[in-house]
Amino acid sequence: MTDPKEFTDVIYEIRDRAAWIIINRPKVYNAFRARTLDELIQAFQLAGNDRNVASIVLTGAGEKAFCTGGDQSAHEGQYDGRGVVGLPIDEIQGLIRDVPKPVIARVNGFAIGGGNVLATLCDLTIAAEHAQFGQVGPKVGSVDAGWGTAFLARHVGDKKAREIWYLNERYTAEQAREMGLVNKVVPMAQLDAAVKDWTDKLAQRSPTALALAKRSFNADSDNIRGISNFALHAVKLFYDTAESKEGVAAFNEKRDPDFHKFAR
């Protein structure tokens, strides 16, 4: 286990009885590479095992982005580290669910792609007014089938989840709240106070009751874990195709992708 002080991509802080886990890659809108996920995994393990921690806050550095998913510049077919697709994405997603403490997504800007999936997996979401939400997979040659699709549908309903995935539009924080993806929207200046209000309340609650409640919510949707893990192996095969690589190249070259020749 690395000392959190040695982390390069993640900041780990204890504020009162909450662990704050901050993705610290603002230049790429807090996109994650394999190292980022390795540090997030260690941070969640630390927080999960710390008896003084009652709740966990996941957020991004700065005011532009919460997280914009996989770092497209660290993506040549597979990503740059360990795990099925070169990212231990299934481990961090599983941990957010498994850690026996409530996890609050503090959404301070864009929550896009794999970043939106992380926010979707958190127990609660508080968003700043300027935050924007969306999935971009079919634009960039990727898909998070499982937590990103089926679990999203649990929050927003099946039709809306299909719209989000097929059309890849961006949704305001207020729209995300109306559709059930966000619990509360506040002005950016009040975001930290709103998060603290909830982490303080959670610190007063019975930790065992919270852990049992979380486990019970999870049990009802845990079949989706199997879909996610299975789909990750399909995505691995997809990432090695010219079709997926066209999506990544188009993003990095700042142009529209041309998927016509891959029509089915």
Ligand X SMILES: CC(C)(COP(=O)(O)OP(=O)(O)OC[C@H]1O[C@@H](n2cnc3c(N)ncnc32)[C@H](O)[C@@H]1OP(=O)(O)O)[C@@H](O)C(=O)NCCC(=O)NCCSC(=O)CCC(=O)c1ccccc1C(=O)O
Q: Which residues bind ligand X (CB under 6 A)?
A: 28-29, 31, 68-73, 85, 87, 89, 110, 112-114, 117, 136-137, 140, 142, 144, 148, 232, 235, 251
Beta-sheet pairing, 171-172 with 10-15 = unpaired
Q: Which is nearer to ligand X, 199 or 228 (CB)?
A: 228
Least distance to ligand X, CB of residue 140, Å: 4
For residue 254, say whether it is annotated as part of any ligand binding site. yes
Q: Which is nearer to ligand X, 90 or 192 (CB)?
A: 90
Q: Which is nearer to ligand X, 35 or 202 (CB)?
A: 35
Query: How far apart, in whole angstroms, are the C-alpha atoms of residue 184 and residue 174?
Result: 9
Within 10 angstroms of residue 231's Cβ, the number of other Cβ atoms is 21
Least distance to ligand X, CB of residue 44, Å: 16
Least distance to ligand X, CB of residue 206, Å: 32
For residue 132, say whether it is annotated as part of any ligand binding site. no
For residue 146, say whether it is annotated as part of any ligand binding site. no
Least distance to ligand X, CB of residue 74, Å: 8
Query: How far apart, in whole angstroms, are the C-alpha atoms of residue 196 and residue 101?
Result: 15
Residue 141, classed as helix, strand or coil, is coil
Query: How far apart, in whole angstroms, are the C-alpha atoms of residue 157 and residue 159?
Result: 6
For residue 113, say whether it is annotated as part of any ligand binding site. yes
For residue 72, say whether it is annotated as part of any ligand binding site. yes
For residue 144, say whether it is annotated as part of any ligand binding site. no
Least distance to ligand X, CB of residue 37, Å: 9
Q: Which is nearer to ligand X, 198 or 239 (CB)?
A: 239
For residue 79, say whether it is annotated as part of any ligand binding site. yes
Q: Are 144 and 153 in contact (CB under 8 A)?
A: no
Q: Are 28 and 71 in contact (CB under 8 A)?
A: yes
Query: How far apart, in whole angstroms, are the C-alpha atoms of residue 28 and residue 23?
Result: 11
Q: Which is nearer to ligand X, 17 or 170 (CB)?
A: 170
DSSP 146-195: SIIIIIHHHHH-HHHHHHHHHH---EEHHHHHHHTS-SEEE-GGGHHHHH
Instruction: Write out the binding residues.
Output: 68-72, 79, 110-114, 142, 239, 254
Instruction: Write out the binding residues for substrate.
Output: 68-72, 79, 110-114, 142, 239, 254
